[in-house]
Amino acid sequence: MAGSAVTTVTARKGRGVVRVDIDLTCSGGAVSATPIGSYFGRLVAVLADPTAGAGATMTSTADILLTDHATGAAILSDLTFGAAAFYYRPTTNIVDNAGATVAAATTAVDVNRDIFVAGKLDIAIANATTTDTGRVTLVFEEAA
C-alpha cells in the first residue's frame, strides 16, 4: 500500500446536556491551549463572565479560542470577550461537499448550522492583559 493510514474510532455513551465551567487565569495576558475534556454532541451555548475570579477583569478585547485537540482546528474563535457577562448560541457556516463555504443569499438561506464536536477539546485565551481572570462556560447536547 502506498502511504499509510491509522484510524481510531471513538464514541461515548451520551450524557444528555452537559455543562463545563472553565475558570481562567492569564499569565502574560494569555492562557495556553488547555484540554477541557471530551464531548460528543452539539455545542449549544457559550457563556462568559469577564469579572469572575480574584484577578483583574478580563480585557474586553481578549480572544476566546476553542479548538479540536487532535487537529488543532479552530471550532470557535471569538475575538471579543466583552465587558459584561454574555450568553449566545454558536453556529457555523456550512461548506459544500467540496469544502467550499456556502454563501448566504436569498437563494441560499439557513447556511448557519449547529457546531458538532467529538473528542477532546482545548481552550485558549489570547490578547488579554497580564494576570486577568474570567470564566467561560460551554454547554453541549449529547445523546440522551
Partner 1 sequence: MAGTAVILGGAPALHRSRGVVRIEADLTTDASGVVTEFTAGEAWGRLVGIAYDGGLATSGTITVKDQKTGATLFTLTSTSGTKVYARPSTVIVDNAGTAVTAAATAPNVNRDIKVAGKVNIVVAAGGNALTGKFALIIDEAGLGTKAVNV
What are the residues binding partner 1 (CB under 8 A)? 1-14, 40-42, 67-68, 70-75, 92, 94-99, 102, 105-111, 113-119, 141-144
Nearer to partner 1, 44 or 56 (CB): 44
Nearer to partner 1, 82 or 119 (CB): 119
Count of positions (residues) in the chain:
144
Alpha-carbon distance of 85 to 82, in angstroms, equals 7
Alpha-carbon distance of 59 to 70, in angstroms, equals 29
Nearer to partner 1, 54 or 105 (CB): 105
Query: Least separation, in Å, of the C-beta of 41 and partner 1?
Result: 5
Contact (Cβ atoms closer than 8 angstroms) between residue 102 and residue 111 = yes
Contact (Cβ atoms closer than 8 angstroms) between residue 119 and residue 69 = yes
Query: Least separation, in Å, of the C-beta of 142 and partner 1?
Result: 7
